[in-house]
Structure formats: structure tokens, C-alpha cells
Amino acid sequence: EVQLLESGGGLVQPGGSLRLSCAASGFTFSSYAMSWVRQAPGKGLEWVSAIRNSGSNTYDADSVKGRFTISRDNSKSTLYLQMDSLRAEDTAVYYCAKCQSGTSCYGGLDYWGQGILVTVSS
Amino acid sequence: QTVVTQEPSFSVSPGGTVTLTCGLSSGSVSTGYYPSWYQQTPGQAPRTVIYSTNTRSSGVPDRFSGSILGNKAALTITGAQADDESDYYCVLYMGSGISVFGGGTKLTVL
């Protein structure tokens, strides 16, 4: 059974940093691209970042480019999202998701974590 | 900037058929955008319904189907049930590793 478990969320002040982790199990982690998706309170889903199976390529939405960094450790089957220079508008539930393919998420997402809340507020 | 468009809301009667669409603010959606669809109920994580235009995700009932209709991607629910009442989001792959979500459609079954 595929499982994705996010951790590392919480309350952070504007301008601060936070690192999210996503522990994956039930599939060969190193074979698939992975992604982060977020959802602000009462709003729709927003694609944030994706990373190739090898970690050699990363892709970011314009809204987080230069502030967020996606990475992975295939030896630990874990996905990360380093979030710097956080803003109030980054407040959201962040979901870790598995991509259908290995190179990018062109085929869509097939499994999702339960999500973790990040609140940016003073 | 290209926007992915969805109907804000839709209503269907129990047992009825509904088609939700996913378009582009500029241009047509084709299979090359690999449209996918996700279902979300309040307080829950999204669930994948359809990927790569028309492939049902594991465990999804066959009353859900995906297609390209005209210049849009479409999600059709045939024989809608009460527990299909959810928000539905489409995603289009824009190339170069970038994906974009639509704004979502709130589906009511009544």
C-alpha cells in the first residue's frame, strides 16, 4: 500500500523558514517523480513544485520560484520542501503527491498524503 | 499567463449524468496536456480520479470517465451518486515540468 506522510509544518513568522518532509513507502520511491501541492484556507489546489526521480531536475511554480526548494533523498525514500522568505500568502495545507511517471508529473498525480498545515503569521 | 478554466459549480440529480470541463484561457486542450482529474471532499486530501486524459485511477468506479470534448478536457459522471458530491479539480501539464490546476468545480448532487 502506498503511503505518504508529511511532517514539519507549523507556525512561522513572515520572512522565516520551514522544511517539510514526506516519508514515502509502498512503492519504489527512486522510480517516480514527486510533487508538492498546496491549498490555502477556503481556496483551490495549487501546484507548487516537482522533482524528477533522480533529483536531477526540479520544477517550480512562479509563485514560489527562488524561495522554495524541492529535493529528495532516495536512500531514505523522503521528499523535502525547503521554504524560505515565507509570506502570509504561503499559509496553506501542503500535500505531498506521487507522480505517474519518473521524469516529471506530465501524467498526473496518483497518490496523495494527508497534508500538513503551514501558517505564516506574526 | 495561461489560466486553466473550470465551471465554478454544477448540479446533477441522483442517477443523472454530468460533464465537467477543463479549458484554457487561450487555446485548446489536447491529449498532449495529459489532463487529469481529482476529487476532494471538505477536510480530506484529494483523490485521483482520472489521469492522462482517460485512465481511471485504481479503485475508481467506471461511472467516471475522461475525454476530450471539442477544445476542452472533460470528466463525465454517469449515474451520479450522493457520495460523488465533491469539489473536482483538473490539472493540465504545460510542459517543461510545469503543471497548472484549474480553479475547481463544486458538484452538488440533489
For A105, the closest chain B residue by CA position comes to B97
CB contact under 8 A, A112 and B57: no
Contacts of A50 in chain B (CB under 8 A): 97, 99
**Cell numbers placing A114:** 494527508
> Cβ contact (<8 Å) for B96 and A59?
yes
User: What pLDDT, in 10s, does the model give residues A51-92?
Assistant: 999 999 999 999 999 999 999 999 999 999 999 999 999 999
Q: What is the pLDDT of residue A102?
A: 86
Give the pLDDT of residue A103: 87
Option in B45, B96, B101 nearest A112 (CB): B45
Q: Which residue of A has its CA nearest to B1?
A: A62
Q: Tell me: pLDDT of B1 over 80.
A: no
Residue B108 buriedness (CB in 10 A; 0-12 / 13-18 / 19+): middle
Q: Which amino acid is at B47?
A: R
Cβ of B45 and A114 within 8 Å?
A: yes
Tens digit of pLDDT for each residue in B56-91?
999 999 999 999 999 999 999 999 999 999 999 999
Are A46 and B4 in contact, with CB atoms under 8 Å apart?
Answer: no
Q: Smallest CA–CA separation between B91 and chain A, in Å?
A: 7
Name the DSSP class of B57.
Answer: P
- Residue A41: what pLDDT? 97
Q: With contact defined as beta carbons under 8 Å apart, do A118 and A9 qualify? A: yes
